[in-house]
Amino acid sequence: MNQDEVDDQEDKIIPGTLIQSSDDSTHENFHHHTSHHHRHSLSYAPASLVELHVHLDGSFRHTTLFELAQKKGIQLPNGMEPTLENFMPYICIQSACKSLAEFLEKFPFFTPIVAGDVEALERVAYEFVEDQAIQGVLYTETRYSPHYLTGDKLTPEQVIEAINKGLRRGMQEFSVDVRSILCCIRQHPEWSMETVDFAEKYRSSGVVGIDLAGDEHNYPIEPHVPAFKHALKLGIHRTVHAGETGSAESVRQAIELCHAERIGHGYAIIDDPSVYDLVRNHDIHLECCLTSSIQTNAVEKYIPKDSEKSEKHFFLNGVITKTKLHTHIRSKKEIWHPIHHFARDCLNFSLSRDDPSVLQITNEHENEHALADLKLSPAQLTQCIFNAARSTFLNDQGKKILIQRLLLNYLPEVVRQKHM
């Protein structure tokens, strides 16, 4: 795919995130994203994707946040005019982001717009399912911390029940299979055991596992180990954010101490052959996120010095704005991103978007830039989808059914009739 083809793809619909352009004109000399607000019933892609690492609170539609902020009288800092363009830099990451810590600074601004509001929580969950359907997602696992979304007004149980209601309504209407993962937070070990109890309580309502998210550098894993051991005894599935901006040792601890079946990100394992082999030998699934890894500088030390960088700008109502979105990186070096290593060595990994609204990306965007920027092959991307399917937190029968449904899109009918 050449650059013109990539830029052409950037003009495609971004489902449900922003305001629809009233001007069909294009600006040839700019990289841009076109914004859409109205629902496009004919834009639903064939259901052929599986996404495992996507944060619900990083997936809120921009228009929904803007609308709710206006209704609730939430003001922009420094008396700024409440327009969407002024609102965007506070909810979306800019290309100049220097670290994961800076990336996470967006959340305290927009999370309170939804937190503590049952109606809003149900709405964003429902809209999440619709946006997944538009992008051709067949099965997805979304994650969130119920404690972070209480807004000091609700109980964590009320948060879970509101989100479950929205997810159920979305699944019924849009035919996407959705499960949820409850996040423990490194900064709050006092929440972890209760989070495991919630996962057990709501297991029959679509909660399939727990996660550990948060600051790897400043908050150790040890206070969370008892909760994860308890989850293991209960048969609750476990994934852990590790090796994103932390070290390979963080991944080892997640596997050996918290019995992680999957690792969120895990890029740092290429720095330690023993941890790399641990992941490979135990078939630990790596939940990789391409644009996120660049925007949080998780892979900064691996980026070749001769790389070419390009920035995307927010495009509103037919006009290019000053708001910079994510950065794309290309290099003549064939192997540089940790994902290159995982693909070369056939590790069990997949691609997800992490926080799609904060990053302003779609699954189509991620796949296209994996092809164009990382030069992964279509076969490798297809393998990622089936890796994700066999690594879901569904039971064995559920995985079998999911894979059979995927094969309907990937195998010719004559082959399916003969072998299935």
- Would you please indicate which residues are annotated as catalytic (active-site) residues? 244
Q: Answer whether 28's CB lies under 8 Å from 46's CB.
A: no
Which has the closest alpha carbon to 27: 311, 315, 310, 309?
315
* Beta carbons within 10 angstroms of residue 352's beta carbon: 25
Angle at 139 between CA 136 and CA 143, to 5 degrees: 115
Q: Answer whether 176's CB lies under 8 Å from 140's CB.
A: yes
Tokens 């995927």 — which residue? 406
What whole-number distance in Å separates Cα of residue 44 and Cα of residue 85? 27
Q: Which DSSP category does 314 fall into?
A: E
Q: Would you list the DSSP string of 327-354?
A: EEEE-S-SS-SHHHHHHHTT-SEEE--B
The tokens for 344 are 């070369």
Which has the closest alpha carbon to 91: 111, 71, 72, 73?
111
Q: Would you list the DSSP string of 234-299?
A: HT-EEEEEESSSS-HHHHHHHHHTT--SEEEE-GGGGG-HHHHHHHHHTT-EEEE-HHHHHHTTTT
The tokens for 229 are 């051991």
